[in-house]
Amino acid sequence: MVEPAKDGRGREPTPDPLAGRVTEIAAAMRSNRIIEVAREAVAAKARDPSICNLTIGDFDPESFRIPAELREGIVRALEEGHTNYPPPDGIPELKAAVAGFYRRELGLDVADEAVCICSGARPAIYATWRTFVRPGDRTVSFRPAWNVGYYAHMNQSDHRFVATRAEHDFFPTVEEVRRHLRGARLVVLNSPLNPTGTVVKREVLAGIAEALVEENLRRGWDPDGGGRGREPPCILLYDQVYWMLRGQWIEHFNPAVLVPECAPWVVHVDAISKCFAATGLRVGWAVVPPAVLAPFAALIGHMGAWAPRAEQVATARFLSSPELVRDTMVRMSEEVGARLVTLYEGIQSMRRRGLPVDAIPPQGAIHLSFRVDLIGRGFDTNEQIRRWLLREAGLAVVPFQAFDMPEESGWLRMSVGTVRLAELGPALERLEAALRRHLDGLGTGARSG
């Protein structure tokens, strides 16, 4: 009889309750680390209301309400009887409104038929992977970034995470992208970037778009995306779900605007979730090469991942009003920006006073890259720093490990959608006091893990 393997301490291993019952993909699925960290923060805040919860990428509806016109539009659409299945690619009015909105605000030449509406950005991301990636195909993304590992796992791709550097705002260089395009089927890029709150620079995005065109021409595809290549084309999934949330002087770029020749190989993903504080409404879309709309929409339809019809009707009306959209962009960006700038300036002022912290200037999204430079000084891991910040400073943040970045370098994400501006001053004071206590303790050899 074969002895069951024992673990390092001589105990029987705990049997996996899922073994043999579910697929390997399902058995290996992990829940989102951000949500686990956020749950801990919510529980801590229930015990101590002074905790400043900067974990979850969502909005507190008291501070960030969806635009009144959107809310009223949904109620009106329900009263008008828009309560049935929508078409799998979305109602024509919303497809046309998204195309018009992109032409007007981004200068992106989008045909109505290229737009597929779905229930937020996630189904659009999943359908992009399902449409283009076969098991074993090479896929590429840059870390830190949000959730790409889960999509790679669900699609069983041969995924490469490419490291980036803080001095490049955590974006890759054109050279780094170029090196990984050979053989890649899908490259995933997000800007403004979750978790860093940084925005890809014009020259970097243009360089990536040019490299994409070169690679697909090399594979034998026609410049207009037609013809028959020797190998499948490389697709760029450009996730711009935060593009309307950014600093006043920060520009947002689109690969297909900078380099129109790359358009046949780009999928744009977007949603109203973040920019209109409407994460629970579930309206998003993909702009896909028109030739793939039919299978793409069929995937969305079979998953039942269409956006609710009343929300689609209201979003179409809302996006068709340039003033309402611009006012909302300005209001949201100002409210988010005030919080990010308060945190950034507080951290920089501590840094100037010699404390071991740093932050990257906020550019877009609802996030700030925050560094506690204490690895090797009482801490070995970012996770230890996270727990210490929660305990000693009442500050709940998410380590970059939750975004597939393995380096224990003290980088953490602050997310500001669920905090009030007034909470930040006291939180920064507690942070400073905790840092000083820690440094004093180090002088006496204490460890804080």
Ligand X SMILES: Cc1ncc(COP(=O)(O)O)c(C=O)c1O
Interface size with ligand X, residues (CB under 6 A)? 13
Closest CB to ligand X among residues 122, 268: 122
Element (H or E) spanning 388, and its range? helix 382-388
Q: Nearer to ligand X by C-beta: 192 or 410?
A: 192
Distance of closest approach, residue 82 Cβ to ligand X, in angstroms? 21
Name the nearest CA neighbour of 41 among 397, 344, 435.
Answer: 397
Smallest gap from Cβ 170 to ligand X, in A, equals 13
Q: Which CB sits closer to ligand X, 262 or 271?
A: 271
- Can you tell me which of 284, 346, 362, 364 binds ligand X, judged by CB under 6 A? 284
Q: Which residues touch 284 (CB under 8 Å, ≥6 apart)?
A: 117, 118, 119, 120, 121, 122, 123, 124, 241, 269, 270, 271, 272, 273, 307
Figure out which of the listed residues 279, 342, 382, 415 binds ligand X, where binding follows CB under 6 A. 279
d(CA 254, CA 260): 10
Which x/- pattern over 127-166 shows residues binding ligand X (rule: CB under 6 A)? -------------------x--------------------
- Residue 57 touches ligand X, criterion: CB under 6 A: yes
Binding segment (CB under 6 A) for ligand X, from list 65-73, 120-128, 249-257, 378-386: 120-128
* Three-class secondary structure of residue 269 per DSSP: strand
The verdict on 369 binding ligand X (CB under 6 A) reads no
Among the residue ranges 65-73, 119-127, 318-326, 422-430, the one whose residues contact ligand X (CB under 6 A)? 119-127
Burial class (CB within 10 angstroms; exposed 0-12, middle 13-18, buried 19+) of 190: buried
For helices 92-106 and 322-352, what crossing angle results, to 10°?
50
**Could you tell me which stretch among 17-25, 118-126, 179-187, 299-307 binds ligand X (CB under 6 A)?**
118-126
User: How remote is the C-alpha of 260 from its chain's centroid?
Assistant: 25
Interaction with ligand X in 245-274: which residues (CB under 6 A)?
271, 273
Cβ 196 vs Cβ 150: under 8 Å = no
- Ranked by CB distance to ligand X, the top (closest) residue is 120
Is residue 276 within the footprint of ligand X (CB under 6 A)? no
We find the least distance from the C-beta atom of residue 426 to ligand X, in angstroms, to be 27
| Cβ partners under 8 Å of residue 161, min gap 6 | 141, 142, 143, 148, 149, 404
Residue 189: name the closest of 131, 242, 134, 136 by CA.
242
Residue 447's alpha-carbon distances to 41, 378, 388, 437, in angstroms, are 23, 5, 11, 11
Which of residues 153 and 377 has its CB atom nearest to ligand X in the complex?
153
Quote the least distance from Cβ 13 to ligand X, whole Å: 35
Nearer Cβ to ligand X (245/434): 245
Max Cα-Cα span within the chain: 75
Is 240 in contact with 191 (CB distance < 8 Å)? yes
Nearer to ligand X, 58 or 113 (CB): 58
Distance of CA 361 to the CA centre of its chain: 18
Pick the binder of ligand X from 164, 194, 315, 382 (CB under 6 A).
194
Among 37, 90, 91, 122, binds ligand X (CB under 6 A): 122
Which residues contribute to the site for ligand X (CB under 6 A)?
57, 120-122, 146, 190, 194, 239, 241, 271, 273, 279, 284
